[in-house]
Structures are given as structure tokens and as C-alpha cells.
Amino acid sequence: MPIVAPSLLAANFLHLKEACEMLNKSEADWFHLDVMDGRFVPNISYGMPVISAIRKATTKVLDVHLMIEEPGKYAATFQEIGANILTVHVEACPHLHRNLQQITSLGMKAGIALNPHTPISAIEEVLENADLVCMMTVNPGFGGQSFIPSMLSKIERLKEIIIKKGYNTLIEIDGGVTLENAAEITKAGADILVAGSTVFNAKDPLKTISSLKNIL
């Protein structure tokens, strides 16, 4: 059974309270929160004030995905406003090992995100310092894009490495997850399914979350 982490990026921002209440009563495990700075990715989403407000609306895990340059500058602030997991992009971190140590020492779980073109070898040396790897299966910056099919074998390869080395690192899949491809993605080795448009554009989001949770 995968961990299901709906992304609020696809929610109606005029009704965030209702979105949080829906997730609270759903089978969703985590809230996935996408922070974009308009530099690392060509889009700007939301930041600290919104996450602070969401923190007050749920006791579930806040899984914060930073698509920003210089994430180390803001790690302590995200901890203060209640992030439980903080994920940084390897492409934005010339000192990734230090970033992971910082996040861990602040008491949060540390994640590494990987763009579709970035090889697994870019993170192998620090895999043991990460609680999760967020494998991007679309180019980050926007919701509602299609899953890049070649990412399936990338998931399998990462899973193999994690098992071989005996690490506990979880694989999170972010981008283009649908009810049609979720089983295949989970079989390939995903532990966590992020889903934005699939959940929030659904006629019945609660049922959709339940279907993702019980996909295998």
C-alpha cells in the first residue's frame, strides 16, 4: 500500500480550508506542498504564509517540496512553520550533503528531488543521508503534465540500488500520477504517490484518494 500525498497545487486556493478538511477525512497520508521561486523553475506558487495556515488546518504530515535556489537559506523557517519533511533539488544544491545534514539536524526528514534528466548516480553517494528520493516524472514547475514513460525503468533502477545497499530510503513519485498508471508505478518500486490534478480535478476526490491508496 503506497503512501498517498495529494499536492495542494491543484486545489482551489479560494477554498483551501475545504481542501484541507477533505484531505483530513480522506485516506491521504501526507499533504504535498510545492514551493516554487520563479528561478529554479519557471513558475511561482506559494510560500511560508500559506504553509503556516495549512499547518493550523491539519495534523497530517506536511511534505514540503522546495523547487527553489539556495534552499538552505530557508530550511530553518520551514521547520519553524511546521514542515515535517523538507525536500531539496540536487540540481539546486552544490553542497547537497550539507543541505541534508542541516535538514536532519533541524529535526525534519530530508528528501532529495531529481529532475527527469538527472541520473541516479548524481545522488548515489548521499542516498544514505536521505529519508526519501522525490523522483520527478514530469519537468517540475507545473501541475497537470503527463508522466514521462521512460521514468518507469528509472524507478526500478533506484529501487534496486536501495535494496542492494540495505537503505530505508523511500521513493516518492511526483508528476503525472493517475489512476491508470499508479499500479504500474507502485509495482516499479514507488513507496509514495504524489497526485495533484488526479485528486483535485476528480468528481469524487475522497474516492480517488482511496483508489490510489488501495491501488495494489
DSSP secondary structure letters along 148-203 = -TTHHHHHHHHHHHHHHHT---EEEEESS--TTTHHHHHHHT-SEEEESHHHHTSS
| Number of chain positions touching ligand DX5 (CB under 6 A) | 22
Q: Does 89 bind Zn ion (CB under 5 A)?
A: no
From the list Zn ion, ligand DX5, none, partner contacted by residue 213 (C-beta under 5 to 8 A by kind): none
The span from the CA of 181 to the CA of 50, in Å, is 31
Closer of 39 and 97 to ligand DX5 (Cβ): 39
Does residue 34 have an active-site annotation? Answer: yes
Q: Which of 2, 71, 143, 205 binds ligand DX5 (CB under 6 A)?
A: 143
100 and 130 Cβ atoms separated by less than 8 Å: yes
Query: Does residue 172 belong to the site contacting ligand DX5 (CB under 6 A)?
Result: no
Query: Helix or strand or coil: residue 104?
Result: helix
Task: Give phi and psi for 31, each to the nearest 5.
Answer: -100, 125
- Give the one entry of ligand DX5, Zn ion, none that residue 205 binds, where binding means its C-beta sits below a cut-off of 5 to 8 angstroms depending on kind: none
Interface contacts to Zn ion, rule CB under 5 A: 34, 65, 174
What are the residues binding ligand DX5 (CB under 6 A)? 7, 9-10, 32, 34, 65, 138, 140-145, 174-177, 194-198
